Amino acid sequence: MTMSTFAVLVLLVITFTYSVAADNKPEQIHIAYTGILSERIVNYVTPSPDLQPETVVAYGSSPDKLTRKETGTSFKFGTHEGHYFMIHNVKNERTLRTSFLEKSVKGDKARTLQFSSSVIVFLECHAIFYLGLILRHVIKLTGLELNKRYYYQVGVPDNGTSDVMSFFTKDGNPVFAIYGDMGYVNAVSLDRLKKEADDGGFDAVIHAGDLAYDMYEGDGTIGNEFMNSIQPIATKVPYMALPGNHEQMYNFTHFVHRFSNMELGVGQTSGSGTSLWWSMDIGLIHFVAFDSEVYHYYRDKANQNRERTPWIVSLAHKAWFMEKTDFSVFGPLLHKYGVDLHLCGHAHNYQRLYPTYNDSVEYPTDNHVYVNPKFKTVIVAGSAGSPEKLSNWTHAPERMSAKYIYDYGYGHLQAMNQTHLYWSWENTHENVRPVMQDYLWIVQEHHGPRPSLFDEEQYQGLKELKDVKSESVEV
């Protein structure tokens, strides 16, 4: 063999090896909290339909010394075919979006049934849908030290590896970037979020429903593109998500699979066993995320550790005044358990309410400082940017509204100490340098459950009724 033939062969081997690896480079990488401070849980996808690489994270305290290795589990899937009943509860039949019906039914039967005061629509559909993903990997990293930067790389050398990335395990009270309703198209806040993640402007993200618009579109390609678009943020800080109405399709399948690190992380730790509703303690805050699309009753242990986590922040895609949702169970629960703040999206605008419960409003002397409020505060931050743009619909009643902003942006939340919780909201309108548009201090010296304002017995009855309504069955 001549020297040149040898060189060509070597080159061929290198090219071949390289292209296999390049084709199967891990993507859609994102990390999450598990609810245990010394842990992070990594989720990524390898796109090749032929290769089945091992699930591995190599990590360490410097980028060239990834001396520790953790393995995990992978799930293979592509096309799903099934026969479903979807139960969609609408308060008023006229408000049912026909597009939802069209997309869901795909030529099959739909029938409606009067139930109590609501109309329930049974959508019986035979659906074939594509998850647009081939192999999803989940790995839990445990025993991490606090206040330390970890460098990590996912994948195996023979079958494609990611770049070396890093995250910081901050102790103390993190700053959370919070928003709902960010899509792949018209993600106005994305550049600002990426820059802030680079600069360490926040320590974690909470995306309160409506992601990608929609993850199942284009046989899942929109979901893939979206997950890749948030990767520069979600590989640096935990990206925590909860579902909104845009995730409902096919029984939340895309959300559940793409955020399986939430199910195996906070879902497992909190005991909910799912990514659709969960809770976690981070710093001085106990977060409770629930799904405002279905009546799910989740008896959370919010008040067990009120000494350690005095603040309770609830998260859902919607607030009580929004359409096609029913807070007749959630409302009294959040009030009774002394939730301080409820954060949501859905309306594509920004709204801050006064402390309210049911019909009662408390007007503070300073619009930006709520001192020992008797009721919880609701904040809507649903304008991170989506193809649906901004909207003026879904206003809270005028007399309850402390601030309303029609612009793109997202908020920051931080518990300063036992008594002071700080929130701010900055706009991220294209070509405009973000400027703080609103802020709020909640000062609370008496954390804890509130006197029950509702009849337990009546409430139990209501809860049972909702539980019946929320059942869905696969046949």
Ligand X SMILES: *[C@@H]1O[C@H](CO)[C@@H](O)[C@H](O)[C@H]1NC(C)=O
Span near ligand X by CB under 6 A; candidates 57-65, 155-163, 220-228, 461-469: 155-163
Which residues face 279 on adjacent strands? 288
Q: Which of 251, 303, 401, 437 binds ligand X (CB under 6 A)?
A: 251
Which string of x and - marks every residue 412-451 that binds ligand X (by CB under 6 A)? ----xx-xx-------------------------------
Pick one of 26, 53, 267, 382: the residue that binds ligand X (CB under 6 A): 53
Shortest distance in whole angstroms from residue 148 CB to ligand X: 26
With binding defined as CB under 6 A, does residue 454 bind ligand X? yes
Residue (of 277, 384, 378) closest to 318 by Cα position? 378
Q: For residue 341, what are the contacts with CB-CB under 8 A and spacing of at least 6?
A: 311, 312, 313, 314, 376, 377, 378, 379, 413, 421, 423, 442
Taking the least distance from each CB to ligand X, the nearer of 268 and 419 is: 419
What Cα–Cα distance (Å) separates residue 357 from each residue in 303, 415, 444?
Answer: 19, 23, 17
Which 88-147 residues touch ligand X, going by CB under 6 A? none
For the chain, report the end-to-end CA distance as a whole number of angstroms. Answer: 65
Query: Minimal distance in Å, beta carbon 256 to ligand X?
Result: 5
How far apart, in whole angstroms, are the C-alpha atoms of residue 309 and residue 303?
9
51 binds ligand X (CB under 6 A): yes
Quote the CA–CA distance of 403 and 389 in Å, as a whole number. 20
Shortest Cβ 250–ligand X spacing (Å): 8
Q: From CA 389, how far away is CA 182, in angstroms rounded?
A: 10
Interface residue with ligand X among 45, 57, 119, 156 (CB under 6 A) is 156
∠109-112-115 over CA atoms, to 5°? 150
Of 198 and 430, CB closest to ligand X: 430
* Nearest distance, CB of residue 86 and ligand X, angstroms: 7
Pick the stretch among 151-159, 226-234, 363-371, 426-434 that binds ligand X (CB under 6 A). Answer: 151-159
**Closer Cβ to ligand X, 15 or 458, answer by number:** 458
Distance between CA atoms of residues 33 and 49, nearest Å: 29
Peptide bond into 214 cis (omega under 30): yes
Pick the closer one to ligand X by CB: 19 or 358. 358
Instruction: With beta carbons less than 8 A apart as the criterion, state whether 266 and 278 touch.
Output: yes
Q: Which stretch binds ligand X (CB under 6 A): 30-38, 48-56, 138-146, 296-304?
A: 48-56
Considering only 180, 332, 364, 411, the residue that binds ligand X (CB under 6 A) is: 332
What is the smallest separation between the CB atom of 311 and ligand X, expressed in angstroms? Answer: 12
Q: How far is the CB of 454 from ligand X (least distance, A)?
A: 4
Phi, psi of 349 (to 5 degrees): -160, -175
Distance CA 444, CA 421 (A): 8
Closest approach of Cβ 80 to ligand X, in Å?
10
Query: From the list 145, 158, 191, 456, which residue makes contact with ligand X (rule: CB under 6 A)?
Result: 158
Written as one letter, the residue type at 421 is: L
**Binding string, 259-278, against ligand X, x = CB under 6 A?**
---------------x----
Identify the H or E element spanning 139: strand 135-141
CB of 20 to ligand X, least distance (A): 9
Enter the tokens of residue 227: 């997950």
Pick the binder of ligand X from 81, 199, 457, 474 (CB under 6 A): 474
**What is the DSSP secondary-structure string of 221-272?**
HHHHHHHHHTHHHHTTS-EEEE--GGG-HHHHHHHHHHTHHHIIIIIHHHT-
**C-alpha to C-alpha distances, 140 to 56, 177, 253, nearest whole angstrom:** 10, 23, 22
Binding residue (CB under 6 A) for ligand X from 178, 256, 282, 289 = 256
- Looking at the Cβ atoms of 5 and 365, the one nearer to ligand X is 365
The footprint of ligand X on this chain (CB under 6 A) covers a number of residues equal to 25
Q: Which x/- pattern, by CB under 6 A, does the window 354-373 give for ligand X?
A: ----xx--------------
**Of 265, 240, 250, 26, which is closest to residue 135 (Cα–Cα)?**
26
Contact between 406 and ligand X per CB under 6 A: yes
Judged by CB under 6 A, which stretch of 49-57, 211-219, 425-433, 462-470 contacts ligand X?
49-57
Q: Does 284 bind ligand X (CB under 6 A)?
A: no
Alpha-carbon span 87 to 90, nearest angstrom? 10
Q: What is the DSSP string of 409-449?
A: EEEEEEE-SSSEEEEEEEE--TTS---EEEEEEEE-SS-SP
Q: Which of residues 368-397 bind ligand X (CB under 6 A)?
A: 392
When asked if residue 467 is in the footprint of ligand X (CB under 6 A), the reply is no
- Whole-angstrom distance, CA of residue 107 vs CA of residue 138: 36
The residues of the shown chain that bind ligand X, judged by CB under 6 A, are 51-54, 84, 156, 158-159, 251, 256, 274, 332, 358-359, 392, 404, 406, 416-417, 419-420, 453-454, 472, 474
